[in-house]
Structure 1
Amino acid sequence: MHNRRSVGHERHRPHRAHRREPLPSRCGPVLSGRPGSHLDSDDGRGSGFGDTRRDTLESERSMIGRIREDLRAMSERDPAATGWLEVLLCYPGLHAVWAHLLFHRLWNAGFELPARLCSHVVRLLTGVEIHPGASIGRRVTIDHGMGVVIGETAEIGDDVHMYHGVTLGGSVNEPVKRHPTVEDGVHIGAHATLLGDITVGADAAVGAGSVVTDDVEPGTTVAGIPAERVE
């Protein structure tokens, strides 16, 4: 358990205006907002263009790799899935997560309004609302999807699975870390509501319809309103 990556250690970082991190290096200057930066080179011969092209290819490969991981994860988690093509075409929760990967980059690059507009369009198409400022790990799957809301400062680790109607909401009206941190391997049942700057520990489970306002210990199951530990 101690070897697992925990997103909870980052939960007290400042509001987005002061905590925005640079894009991963593989994104290169394409989204850096520096006009002409793709032509920069140390030798003055414009070799930066080739570097940018390689960075773009690496980014595309990374995106394809993420999609493959998600297809495999959803196929394993949903017994109704009949094959990877069905999962690729008919799972709006995954479509929303994939779109968020792009919009999150825009948000971190400072293009906040375009990121919000794009996420709004995806919400109309999928029924899933993910704020572009939220942080989402790998192999995060949303089954059915409709009605899911993930707030701006929410942090979700790897291998998290949730169902329709889940809300990761805030509990204060201040520009601070105000949404839940969900660590690796957590399972969240349909219509569960998690509120505030709380941490749901790794491999925990939240029962359907529960309302969680306090931290959940790793490896435990909680259910009810308010949610309590289930033995």
Structure 2
Amino acid sequence: MSSHPRSPYILKGGIVLLNAENASIERIVTLQYNPDTLTRNLQVQGAGEDGDRSEALRLTGPPVETYTLEAEIDATDGMESADDVTVDVGIQHRLAALETIIYPSSSTLFNANLMSQIGTIEIAPAEAPLTLFIWNKNRVVPVRITEFSITEEAFDTKLNPIRAKISLGMRVLSISDLGFNHQGGNIYMNYQQNKERLAKMYSGGNLQDFGINSIT
């Protein structure tokens, strides 16, 4: 990014891990470079999807929304400034910060193994932190990472990756998944209400744009 004093401040997209019980932030992972494209898919949740025509206009809940993106990570800046971490491990620390989001912690695994050895049955796995995908102030959404692939494209003399592309697939967790009383459910409702507020900013058209004067 240019150091010129008049250069605009560029916001970053990224992921925040939140403790769902007390809303404390556990980790912030900003994307080094914002991807050029962000693909969103919305699957309608309608009561008439099973063929019942009498329910054709009823919506049973928010659409199932998914995000996909490809992000790049590069060690060039760190290598030029002789950053100690980059010199030592390349971009592995950046990759690990993202990868470990989809791992249960090692302490959780050790504890589960210990409990199994003493004959204790775990009723339910420990709940992971709430994952939030943030893409400006109007898009702060709870998500579950569903796809994650990494292509490492270049390496240093110690075989540390120094350039990589990451492909992420995420499913938005709505109130249908979390409920209204969950911290993530509250964040989702803020997200949907932001959509409704933005929709009201659209001035709309008129029937003459379609070449007609009335519907009926």
* TM-score, normalised with respect to structure 2: 0.26
More helix by share: 1
* TM-score, normalised with respect to structure 1: 0.25
Which structure: larger Rg? 2
More strand by share: 2
